[in-house]
Amino acid sequence: MTIAEDAGLSPAGCLALLWPLLPEALVPPAIRETLERTAADLPPVPAVALEFRLVDDPTIDLHQLIEAEQRHLLPAYVAGRTATSPGEASLVAVLSDWMEDARGIPKLFLEWDRPGDGEATAPGVFLALDPPGATGDAARRKRIVALAERLSPGGWGIAAAAIDRVRQVLPTGASINFLGFMLGRDDALRVNIRHIRPDDFVTFLAAVGWPGDAVAASRHFEMLVRSCDRVTIALDFAPELQPTLGLEVFMESGPASEPRFARLFDHFEALGVCAPERRAALALLDARLLPEADGQDWPAAWAMAAAVRSDRDLPWLRVRLSHLKLSFDRHGTPSAKAYVAVRHFWSRGEAQARAPVPRSRHQARTAALEFLLERQGQDDLWRDFAIANGASDHWVTALVGFVLANQPDPRARDAADRARRALLRGRRGGGWGYNAASPPDADSTAWAIRFIRALDPADPAIVVAEAFLAAHFLPDGGLTTYAPTTAIRFVGNAVSRDDSGWRGRHDCVAANAASALTGAARARLLASLRGAQAADGSWRAYWWRHDVYSTALAIEALAAVEADGLGRALAWMRAQRPDNAFDLAWQMLALRHGGPADRDAASDLADRLAADQLADGSWSAGADMLFPDPATPHRAPEATCYPDLRRTYTTASALLALEAWR
Amino acid sequence: MSSGTERLRAAMDFLRQASAADVAGLPARVDYDALAERAAARGFETDAAAMAEAFRILVRMRLAHGGRASVARQKTATGQPWLRR
């Protein structure tokens, strides 16, 4: 810990770097000064958010995030506080307690409503709760009891009644993720619930006794779930359950790589809860500020804190539109808010937070499965990667679904079956694409076929999809990603542009499709694959930085029909020294088809893979996808890669490999 | 009055020799004058422009030694979006 210099990281620095990104009309100078004064008085944790109303209302609330790893900054702060109100005394008491023992409560959010409006205010305190089972329900409950009692006398009584009422009717997979004690609002309690699926929404609200119009709210909920990565439900107790409702809408990626933000704002504008000028000011906020960049100044205290850190530690700042919220008052009238998050990071801190937690193979399989189950969206899809068209859902879901369909755990099978139904609903022209905004393609469709077949070989969608896939053959017997009959239109282009690269021969796609097709089409593709093998034994990828994945898929497809003839390919694979879990997993899968020495080597790799797993059950992103210009015919050595930053594609691959070496 | 080079060198020396005690009391706003004053109080004659440049150099030197690999991998999406057919 580096307490002394970190104490200089006042959250006011976040605001100093945020202001140049916001118009003065949105945050006038007087409000800026007020917010800075309030921020300067907060614990020295540089992670804040501003809460904006999306209509013409100047009110801005200030939030602060404190994670358990930052508790070392609290003792000096707490010791220096003199509470001036009962609310502030409660805050100091809860910080004092939590900084000693944060089990089950990995982070706190402090929320100041209308800071500086003249009234003696105390913040709302939101306790983040570990997912069920992570800490142990008894231990977690004990900590919540202690903190609730510090937040308000009798606070636990209200919280206990609300928690029990919600927990008794939670659908499978859903859980409480936040408890909010609204110290400034007559000790009201907010309960946030995650992982409610649209099919369960009305039933859940009815069962919990919510007195509003659940059917009307469900229409908004369904739309929001379709348009984002996660929607949480906020219920208010005071102490009875109130007819108000909040729907908090989260995206994993910032607006620059998440076009669905635009769809959400369109929805809010249509509802009349978002002013166009507010949208214009907030909707595209997505920046990484790096102090080495020309013209990028840094707060004085922050610069000095960086100077005294270790040689390899560097600061940077993330500013982004974090999430949106659609609220309904007691009359069902909607309103909307946007949250702009500003957070300072140390590069070494990130690396430490992501340090591997060595596990046995069995433990690694279990943890990976839990990670993937937890990451399934409320619309039953998985998402990963971030390119100009946003995250992938259908393509990624097809691969993850294929992996889970082959797992013995019944929960995996249930998740896979729900994903299958979601994919079938999203089918277009008999095939699937990168996501709903993208045309259907051969690779997504090949993974979807393999996935659906793993659950039900007789599913009629497979026959249709195989026909769609067969339309991607080129005259030379190879396969392309986008068929000649598939239209690809680009934003801003009135006339079609050169997309010959995306329609060229892609052996990485062919290698996958060879395991999806059947009969003569498969034989034709395998013959083509044999001819496409490079002199060194590999198969060149078009959409990937490395060739391990494409070569492993080719080996897998060819091994299904011929035991011999893979010598060169296996020799190439044997010589690879992957530096990431994704390639390691596919190397293991390929070496299964080699001799005893290869299989022994792959078994050793399984231990290495298990040892590299991160605490949350995932592996660091290693699936380095490329996103070439559509006219580019071949992979360029300097191509920018887009890894699976949510770690889903890599983790699914690792689980598949570990399962193969069970 | 020292030259620009000397002021930059002084600023670099101040940053290299700074300790946690030098962080206390500095403003959490962009204010290189405050940094220059802190440096002067420690016997380093410099100015705001030199402090700004020295800090940038310090960060770039660490960057050159692989200090921020995790951020470097997080590319912002580029390329041209395509439309649903």
The pLDDT tens digits of the residues spanning A237-270 come to 988 999 999 999 999 888 877 888 988 999 999 9
DSSP code at position A479? B
Contact call for A437 and B79, based on CB within 8 A: no
B21 touches chain A (CB under 8 A): yes
Residue of chain A with shortest Cα separation from B66: A312
pLDDT of residue A114: 81
On the question of pLDDT at B73 being above 50, the answer is no
Say yes or no for a CB contact (<8 Å) between A437 and B78: no
Q: Select from B24, B35, B69 the Cβ nearest to the Cβ of A303.
A: B35
Is residue B19 within 8 angstroms of chain A, CB to CB?
yes
Q: Which letter, b or e, does each residue of A468-489 get, where b requires 16 or more Cβ atoms within 10 Å of its Cβ?
A: bbbbbbbeebbbbbbbeebebe
Q: Which of A261, A253, A263, A255 is nearest to A284 (CA)?
A: A255
Which among B14, B46, B62, B63 is the top mutation candidate for probing chain A, defined by the most A β-carbons within 10 Å of its own β-carbon? B62
DSSP A124-135: EEEEE-PPTTSS
- Residue A150's pLDDT is 83
Q: Give the residue with greater pLDDT, A146 vs B38.
A: B38
Structure tokens at A96: 């004092």
Interchain CB distance below 8 Å, B67 and A313: yes
**Cα–Cα distance measured from residue A121 to residue A127, given in angstroms and rounded to the nearest whole number:** 19
- What does the pLDDT look like over A468-516, one tens digit per residue? 999 999 999 999 999 999 988 776 654 567 899 999 999 999 999 999 9
Cα angle A641, A643, A647 (rounded to 5 degrees) comes to 175
CA B31, B33, B34, B39 torsion-angle sign: positive
Cβ atoms of B10 and B45 closer than 8 Å = yes
3-state per-residue secondary structure call for A469-521: HHCCECCCCCECCCCCCCCCEECCCCCCCCCCCCCCCCHHHHHHHCCCCCHHH
Buried b (16+ CB within 10 A) or exposed e, A573-610: bbebebebbbbbbbbbbbbbbbeeebeeebeebbeebb
Chain A within 8 Å of B6 (Cβ-Cβ)? Answer: no
> Is residue A631 within 8 Å of A497, Cβ to Cβ?
yes
Chain A partners of B52 at a C-beta cutoff of 8 Å? 297
CB contact under 8 Å between B80 and A386, yes or no, is no
User: Phi, psi (5° rounding) for residue A248?
Assistant: -95, 130
The span from the CA of A264 to the CA of A217, in Å, is: 16
Strands (E), A19-163: 47-53, 60-67, 107-112, 124-128
Q: Is A292 within 8 Å of chain B by CB?
A: yes
Q: What integer pLDDT is reported at residue A496 of this predicted model?
A: 65
Q: Phi, psi at residue A652, to the nearest 5°?
A: -65, -40
The whole-angstrom distance between residue A127's C-alpha and the CA centroid of its chain comes to 21
Preferred mutation among B38, B42, B55, B60 to probe A, highest tally of A CBs within 10 A: B55
Outline where DSSP puts E strands in A70-123: 107-112
As for the ipTM of the complex, it is 0.90
Residue of B nearest to A352 (CA): B70
Residue type, A257: S
Residue A197 φ/ψ, nearest 5 degrees: -90, 155
**Shortest distance, CA A482 to any CA of chain B (angstroms):** 12
Q: Would you state the pLDDT for residue A470?
A: 97
Q: Distance, in angstroms, between B43 CA and closest chain A CA?
A: 16
How many CB atoms within 10 Å of residue A516? 25
Question: Does B80 lie at the interface with A, CB-CB under 8 angstroms?
Answer: yes
Query: Can you give the pTM of this predicted structure?
Result: 0.89
* Sequence letter at residue A99: M
From A585, A620, A623, A621, select the one nearest A605 (Cα to Cα). Answer: A585
A239 prior amide bond cis, ω within 30: yes
Asked if A488 is an interface residue toward chain B (Cβ–Cβ < 8 A), one would say: yes
Q: In terms of residues, how long is chain A?
A: 662
**Residue A638 near chain B (CB below 8 Å):** no
Beta bridge partners of residue A194, listed in sequence order = A175
Structure confidence by residue, pLDDT tens digits, A29-70:
999 999 999 999 899 999 999 999 999 888 999 999 999 988
* A1 contacts chain B (CB < 8 A): no
Q: What is the pLDDT of residue B70?
A: 47
Contact list, A303 vs chain B (CB under 8 Å): 32, 35, 51, 55
Q: How many CB atoms lie within 10 A of CB A301?
A: 28
**Nearest-Cα residue of chain A relative to residue B36:** A300
Residues 6+ apart with CB under 8 A from A337: A51, A52, A53, A54, A324, A325, A327
Residue A436: the pLDDT is 83
* Chain A residue numbers touching B21 (CB-CB < 8 A): 4
Question: DSSP E strands: which ranges in chain B?
Answer: 82-83
Residues of chain A with pLDDT under 50: 1, 494
| Closest of A330, A172, A321 to residue A246, by C-alpha | A330
Are A67 and A145 spatial neighbours (Cβ–Cβ below 8 Å)? no
Would you call A386 an interface residue with chain B, using a CB distance cutoff of 8 Å?
Answer: yes
Residue type, A37: R
Task: Work out the end-to-end distance of chain B between its first and last CA atoms, rounded to an integer number of angstroms.
Answer: 68
Q: How far off is chain B from A15, nearest CA to CA, in Å?
A: 8
DSSP B74: -
Give the whole-angstrom CA distance, residue A499 versus residue A502.
6
Residue A347 has its nearest CB partner, among B22, B52, B67, at B67
Beta-carbon separation of A311 and B80 below 8 A: no
Q: Chain B neighbours among A 17-56 (CB < 8 Å)? A: 17, 36, 40
Report the candidate in A366, A464, A390 with the shortest Cα–Cα distance to residue A423.
A464
Looking at residue A582, its pLDDT comes to: 97
Rounded CA separation A326/A126 (Å): 19
